[in-house]
Chain A
Amino acid sequence: MSDILVYALHYDGAINKNSLGAVAEGARLAKQIGGEAHAILVGEDVPADLAASLGEYGAAKVLTAQAPDGLAQPVVDAMAAAIGAGGYGYALFGGGLLGFEIGAGLAARLDAGVAMEITTVRAQDGQLIAERPILGDSAISEITYRSDVGIIIGRLNAFEITKDGAGPAPVETLSFTLSPQAARARIVTRGEQRGADVDIEGASVLVAGGRGLGKKEGFQLCDDLAAAFGGSSAVAATRAVVDAGWYPYAAQIGQTGKTVAPKLYLAAGISGAIQHKVGMMGSENIVAINKDANAPIFEFSDLGIVGDLNKILPKLTEAIKAHKGG
């Protein structure tokens, strides 16, 4: 029971980065508890070479299962079948929406303990111990498992991607039965991009806007400020405002958006929820402007300004222009 089964999400012919990290982490941990890490890919006609490539990240074996893409419950069915066949002590997921849904569903199916938003996993006496930051990352809880299988769901970007594997892994096809509930959901469209295709990942300065901008037109303040910085600067957004249609999805930071690490991240009207934080916490300098002094973002910003962004941003834009001109 010391093998680790790692879920690997794939889309458009590529494996998700967080899944690559999870496979590498699974391989590191399995070695310490005397087992192997196996990866599982679920979808329609998963390419065998794509599956085999996970061997480079440390998977000793890769299972592929034929099922509809993009939904959690078919993966729960497939993973429950693989785990039911024996040998697995843990199921591991990289950060990501589907991982949360699958991990939780699998916990219910297997009567297993589950912990999410895990940032560190370590081996001790042949068992895994997961660490989860809680209360706005002000404390860390340790989680151990008393169930036969322990389910570990990582935080976005928690696991380092390393290629310590021996090369392509053997691929096996897993046969399983789709549950009635899984058969009652079908994906109609997947991965629809909304709004312009903007590039924010290469920018050295990002001005990010959140709900505190008040309305769609509020983004003009961010556009103006980014323009004042000039050079390699761009505007980014939170999920809340992208969902509201104020800014393009391609500019979204966080859990279901981009992960960035610019030299300067200037957050305007962003509260700093964990789903946002995980996508930008690697930034070198974080400046936050928010009218709510209790906003979590002030707990991880280097410079925090408590005030009205409608007053501050225009003046800051002018001052930066003047500074650059002078």
Chain B
Amino acid sequence: MKICVLVKEVPDAAVHKRIDPSTGRMDRGGEKTLNPYDTHAIEAAMQIKESGGVQVSEIIAVTMGPASAVRALHKAVSLGADRSVHLSDDALAGSDVAATGYALAQTLKRESPDLVLLGQQSDDGECYTIGAVVAEHLSMPSLTQVIKLDLAGDELTCERQAEYGYDTVKITTPAVISVGDAINEPRYPSLKAIMGAKKKPLDTLGVGDVEIDAGKVGGEHSGARWTSAKAPPQKASGQIIEDEDTAETVEKIVAWLDERKLI
């Protein structure tokens, strides 16, 4: 079985995010890190491999993004992926979620995976829809936000929380599964794995290498046009107390509640 894990480089959550006023798009400069949800997807792949229930031949990390996104691949490899694929092309810049999913699906076709895993959402655009787009282009069944995943032969048993409680779904591979953060506790990479990550095989591909129709990707060809970013109605910001003396802090909270007749 071959497992591909889709990963993404996202702005570090601890760093303030901003919109580029000239384009209305998120400024993706600044500090970047591997999408934390994706570490759970890599861990899920590793646990399938290590459980020994099915023979896993390879775990491949796949990303789309600018040259800097290679760092997310290095991190993915340090967490256990055997090699990585980097789709990077100026023609892809500004792609919306539908175009991005199409481009990733074309890249995945080259690998013919039996299972595609990804994190349920990325921290920057919250586009927890990409798995469904990729699955559709690959004609594979898919499920998002999975928190328990068991594999027996070619049958996946998945659990997830949906609108009315927990659902259990059985799916035949090949399939695209996005996982939630409750699925596992990702391991920390060893120093050796971090040092060795840059030596693992990395394929860098452009749109021409994976038969992407350039007329279907990029900001100019995406079906949804994201226009101006405007400021929302301003809400008065709340009061903030830094707790130094807890007795004093509690006194302030009680006074605040009392003033509003909440106690």
Binding site for B on A (CB under 8 A): 9, 11-12, 16, 70-73, 76, 96-98, 100-105, 107-109, 111-117, 133-147, 150, 153, 179-182, 184-194, 205, 229, 239-240, 242-244, 249, 256, 263-264, 274, 285-287, 293-294, 298-308, 311-312, 315-316, 319-320, 323-324
Contact A134 B97, beta carbon cutoff 8 Å: no
Query: Which residues on A sit within 8 Å (CB–CB) of B101?
Result: 104, 108
A136 to B165, CA, bound (A): 27
User: A256 touching B132 by the CB < 8 A rule?
Assistant: no
**A220–B246 CA distance with the chains assembled, in angstroms:** 19
Q: Judge whether B164 is part of the interface by a CB distance below 8 angstroms.
A: yes
Q: Is the CB of B162 within 8 A of A70?
A: yes
Q: Would you call A187 and B17 a contact (CB within 8 A)?
A: no
Question: B127-142: which residues lie under 8 A (CB-CB) from chain A?
Answer: 127-137, 139-142
CB distance from A287 to the nearest CB of B (A): 7
Asked whether A256 lies within 8 Å of B163 as measured between CB atoms, the reply is: yes
Residue B110 is within 8 A (CB to CB) of chain A in the complex: no
- Does B181 have its Cβ within 8 Å of any Cβ on chain A? yes
Which residue of chain A has the shortest Cβ distance to B101 in the bound complex? Answer: A108
CA distance A285 to B228 in the complex (A): 32
B112 at the interface (CB under 8 A from A): no
List the B side residues contacting A294 at CB < 8 Å: 13-14
**Docked-complex contact A146 and B223, CB < 8 angstroms:** yes
Least Cβ distance of B181 to chain A in Å?
7
- Asked if A316 and B250 make an inter-chain contact with CB atoms under 8 angstroms apart, the answer reads yes
B211 vs chain A, min Cβ distance (A):
16
| B residues in contact with A240, CB < 8 Å | 181-182
Q: Does B225 contact A (CB under 8 A)?
A: yes
The interface centre, meaning the residue of B133, B139, B165, B228 with most chain A CB atoms within 10 A of its CB, is B165
User: How many contacting A-B pairs (Cβ < 8 A)?
Assistant: 270
- Complex interface residues of chain B between 162 and 186 (CB less than 8 A to chain A): 162-172, 175, 180-182
Given contacts A139-B230, A307-B242, A312-B249, contact A107 B223 (CB under 8 A): yes
The A interface, classified by DSSP as helix, strand, loop or mixed, is mixed
Find B238's partner among A150, A186, A303 (CB 8 Å cutoff). A303
Residue in A134, A182, A187 whose Cβ sees the most chain B Cβ within 10 Å: A134
| Distance between Cα atoms of A125 and B258 in the complex (Å) | 51
| Closest Cβ–Cβ distance, residue B174 to chain A (whole Å) | 9
Interface flags, B206-228, vs A, CB<8A=1, else 0: 00000000001000001111111
Q: Is B193 an interface residue (CB 8 A)?
A: no
CB-CB < 8 A to A139: which residues of B?
19, 229-232
